[in-house]
A and B are shown apart, each in its own frame.
Chain A
Amino acid sequence: MDALNQLPLNIAATIRSLFGDSHSIWADLTMNVINIILVIVLIVLAALILILLERKIAGWTSQRPGPNRLGPHGWFQTIADALKLLGKEDVTPAGADKFIFKIAPMILFALPMMTLAVIPYGKGMSPIDLDLGIVYFLAISAVSTLSLLMAGWSSNNKYSMLGGMRAVAQMISYEIPLIFSLLGVVMITQTFSLSKIVEAQSTVPFVVLQPLAFVIYLIAGIAEVNRAPFDLVEADQEVVAGPFTEYTGLRWGLFFLGEYGNMTAVAALTTTVFLGGWQGPAILPGYAWFFLKVGIIIFFQMWVRWTFPRIRIDHLMGLAWKVLLPLSILNILLTGLGIYIYDLVLRIGG
């Protein structure tokens, strides 16, 4: 098991040893590029699998088969869909603000790439190990608001405009509880580095110490990626497809990839910060534990999506500002008090 656990690190060391000096700048550069390509492969694979899984779970919850024609049990359905998207015409409406219209989906697609690259997938297996991990993650994922606003505004379509405005209102509202809920963990661990946060959870995962923050993060995370019951942005019955109304072909596909990538990124951060990341009993290698936990969180998000009806927009904003925000501030106060008393007892006792 140990050999399997160390396998990715050993492969990396082998690639490095191909260079004369295994820590020269070229070795570092090659490793970086390989890591980045692995992250890209991860996002595309995750999107392909998750789209199929989502449709299967949707079918399962509403007692119908879901996609079941193409390949065994319909497993090749998303591959066929992706190929079809490649061959579809890329239409830019005549009234649109063309440049912004074209780059909006590209931005949304680039974000999960940037965020997933700092997640520790195993012991010493961060593609990029940043000291400022959490801050970097939050800063990058906040840009997705901008992408949806750009798409909504530039389409010159009233549905898109409404969707874009809703996206901004919803995402900035839920961003505050999201950021505050992670603060408690930073207060305990005294570090921004994601790999150090995972190491601090070797005895007990932070979901035990920060249950309130975990629930707040889970709810705000679902709202942040605009999934039901918080999918006011793309509510089909009200605003057609929100900011995505005018998009076609692969440009729309980029939005789709970006949405599923963001969902994976939120689940990955939940796992890293609250569920102990790659830590787990030694029956499975660390990265397997990591992906298992991410899978459970994603399954939970899908389950919620297909179980609860969409909530009203005033309830949505009320939940963020009048429930989650006061609760997250309370969590900071309680955590601060707890740590203060803990340190005081240690000082008196030791």
Chain B
Amino acid sequence: MSNNFAAVGILLIFAIALPVIMMLMPKILAPNKPHKEKLTTYECGNETIGRTWIGFKSNYFLYALVFTAFDVETVFLYPWALTFRKLGTFAFVEMFIFIVILLVGFWYAWKEGALEWM
């Protein structure tokens, strides 16, 4: 087990090193002639107006909130799924109560229109 995660560590080193090495290739092979016009932001030929890094619409934030709730739920659900055949009726019923509580929250988010794209 620990041995396998050592292998993942080696894999991580490779995964970091390989793209870096690959990006060295165009340094050698490709031309590099930066020009003021070439480095401007692409916007179909127009000059870009205003800033890009602005506040974004809050819809995305609502989705992120609901996502967080369900993502945390998966953290509970996965260990439960792993052992629920051994734990018997108690764990079975308890997890369904847990899911129902979450579904109530989900229903509320749905009713309040958090899931509508505007």
Interface residue ranges, A against B (CB under 8 Å): 28-29, 32-33, 35-36, 40, 86-95, 102, 105-106, 109-111, 113-114, 117, 128-131, 135-136, 153, 155-159, 161, 165, 168-169, 172-173, 175-176, 179-180, 183, 186-187, 190-192, 240, 245-246, 249-251, 254, 313-314, 317-318, 321-322, 325, 329, 332-333, 336, 339-340, 343
Contacts and interface: CB of A to CB of B under 8 A. Distances in A.
Interface string B93-111: 0011001000100100010
Interface size class of B (residues with CB under 8 A): 35 or more
Nearest to B39: A94
A233 to B, nearest CB: 14
Most A CB within 10 A of own CB, among B33, B36, B40, B115: B115
A180 B34 contact: no
B38 A157 contact: no
14 contacts: A40-B14, A95-B52, A113-B11, A113-B15, A114-B11, A130-B8, A159-B43, A176-B67, A180-B74, A186-B81, A192-B82, A250-B30, A318-B115, A336-B96
A180 B39 CA distance: 44
A333 B56 CA distance: 37
A128 B11 contact: yes
Contacts of B82: 186, 190-192
Given A321-B115, A343-B85, A36 B11 contact: yes
B78 A135 contact: yes
A190 B85 contact: yes
A153 B54 CA distance: 10
A325 to B, nearest CB: 8
Given A131-B1, A135-B78, A153-B53, A176 B70 contact: yes
Interface string B1-43: 1011101101110111011101101110111111010111111
B41 A246 contact: yes
A130 B63 CA distance: 32
Contact of A129 (B4, B30, B53): B4
